[in-house]
Structure 1
Amino acid sequence: MAARVGAVVFDVLETLLDLDPIGERLEEVGQPAAVLGPFFMRFQRDAMALTLAGEFADFTATARQALRTETRQTMSEDAIDHVLRGFAEVPAFPDAAPALSRLSEAGVPVGCLTVGDPDNTRSFLAGADLERYVDQVVTCDVVGVWKPAPQVYRYAAEALDCELGRMALVAVHAWDCHGAKKAGALAGWCSRLEGEPGEVFLPADVRGDDLLEVVDGLLALGPSST
């Protein structure tokens, strides 16, 4: 009988890659590091809003606008450039490589499901020494809409040549896991960022305090009863 999980896709920003160094770049241009959190939240919200309105949210343009707005128009374009260049240098979380390696050793295809340009994403993963574990990179740029639109998860399953119901998304964002579940995929939620997933979202199939615990839980899932 086939294993329950046929492929696993990871969210990238805040799940595999640590954005805290972006805060240091904000400080270097005269902004408080604390701007990082609300900036990234505004960036995600604005991208989702554009998707809901039927527009495609360009990663760089949306991020630039979010920075301008969150800092009350006090950043120069050069300063914004400096901050956004930091995305290419952010490190992996300590649990990222062990989790991806565990899947590779188990023979489970690994993908990344994120935003932005696929080539840039591969560069970010290479810089964090994670690219060697990743079989496919799927980004919203390719699909034409942003997560959590269901077609994003469907496209990822097709790219990994996996039935949607046997593909699992791993993320630290409960809303992303909710989107995967609504689309028909499996989900593994890591508590590192949010602590608790909240009652408004569908529960993930697996939850854990770190990515390796989540991956082990996904690998241990028994066959579906449906």
Structure 2
Amino acid sequence: MAAEIRDIEVVVFDVLGTLVDEPGGLRAAIRDAVPTADDAAVDELLARWQRHVEREQQRIAQGDRAYATSETIDAEAARLVADRAGLGDPATVARMAAAGRRLLPWADSVAGLERLARRFPVLGLSNASRTALLHLNAHAGLRWHQALSGETVRAYKPAPEIYRLAVDTAGCPPERVLMVAAHAWDLRGARASGMRTAYVHRPVGDPPTGSDVFDGHFGGLDELVTALDR
């Protein structure tokens, strides 16, 4: 369901999963590190990585662990994958751990951001660390006017302080800031902070449920840009 969204001053994008294919990039890095693994084994290793990241971010949110950057948690996940796969070469493990710096954009991400950035201030808002975002932006060719990391407030989305960081940076009322994401859980956090919300479909996203109320649902960035251009 595409929609026309009015009275927006700043557009904020989630990065991992919304603009770049995070699972695909991690899967490729695991396959490179363990070339003898079949598809099922790679999928199991990827699931192990993702479970670790999710669990540690939740522990941080609950106060059970001090804040650690995404790169620290990814390094832990890579070590778990390496141990499971019997991989002992430190250089190979280190390259796998840095996979988050080398994620590829979705086909419409670069052009969509380019179009939007001609008309709106555009922010990235990510759980990725500042250093990871720097390298990821360069690798994927993403264009925005500023990229914000949860590292700044030492929290992970959907913690409210991350959305406040975006609104404070935007310098306008939250109802004039549009949060764009492929993850309904992310948009729920933004909406609770007073931001406008737009869901963009991605194969790896978290789709809305029937109870979610977002300002627009879009099949891709082209649809979103067209709606904002009206």
TM-score under structure 1 length normalisation: 0.82
Pair 195,64 (structure 1): closer, same or farther in 2 beyond 3 Å: closer
> Bigger shift: 6-15 or 17-26?
17-26
AA aligned to 2:77 is A
Q: Aligned with 1:14: secondary structure? A: coil
AA aligned to 1:82 is R
Report the Cα offset of residue 167 of structure 1.
Answer: 0.8
Q: Distance in 2 between matches of 1:70 and 1:184?
A: 39
Q: Which residue of 1 aligns with 2:103?
A: 90
Q: Distance in 2 between matches of 1:13 and 1:195?
A: 12
For structure 1, the 5+ residue unaligned runs are: 221-226
Q: Aligned with 2:217: secondary structure? A: strand
Q: Distance in 2 between matches of 1:40 and 1:199?
A: 26
TM-score under structure 2 length normalisation: 0.81
Q: Aligned with 2:148: secondary structure? A: strand
Q: Distance in 2 between matches of 1:25 and 1:122?
A: 19
**Percent of residue pairs identical:** 24
Q: Which residue of 2 aligns with 1:111?
A: 123
Q: 1:33 aligns with which of 13, 35, 42?
A: 42
Q: Distance in 2 between matches of 1:169 and 1:33?
A: 33
**Correspondence 1:6 to 2:9:** yes
Q: Write out per-residue CA displacement over residues 33-80 of structure 1, whole angstroms, 9 at most, x where no aligned residue.
A: 313355235413421331222631321222233344467644545443
The answer to whether the 8 A contact 2:18-2:205 is kept is: no
Q: Which residue of 2 aligns with 1:61?
A: 72
Structure with greater contact order relative to length (CA < 8 Å, sep ≥ 6): 2
Q: Distance in 2 between matches of 1:28 and 1:37?
A: 16
The answer to whether the 8 A contact 2:100-2:132 is kept is: no
**Correspondence 1:99 to 2:112:** yes
Q: Distance in 1 between matches of 2:210 and 2:74?
A: 29
The answer to whether the 8 A contact 1:170-1:187 is kept is: yes
Q: Which residue of 1 aligns with 2:160?
A: 150
For structure 2, the 5+ residue unaligned runs are: 1-5
Report the Cα offset of residue 28 of structure 1.
Answer: 2.3
* Alignment size in residue pairs: 214
Q: Which residue of 1 aligns with 2:188?
A: 178
Q: Which residue of 2 aligns with 1:52?
A: 62
Report the Cα offset of residue 218 of structure 1.
Answer: 4.7
Q: Distance in 1 between matches of 2:139 and 2:103?
A: 8
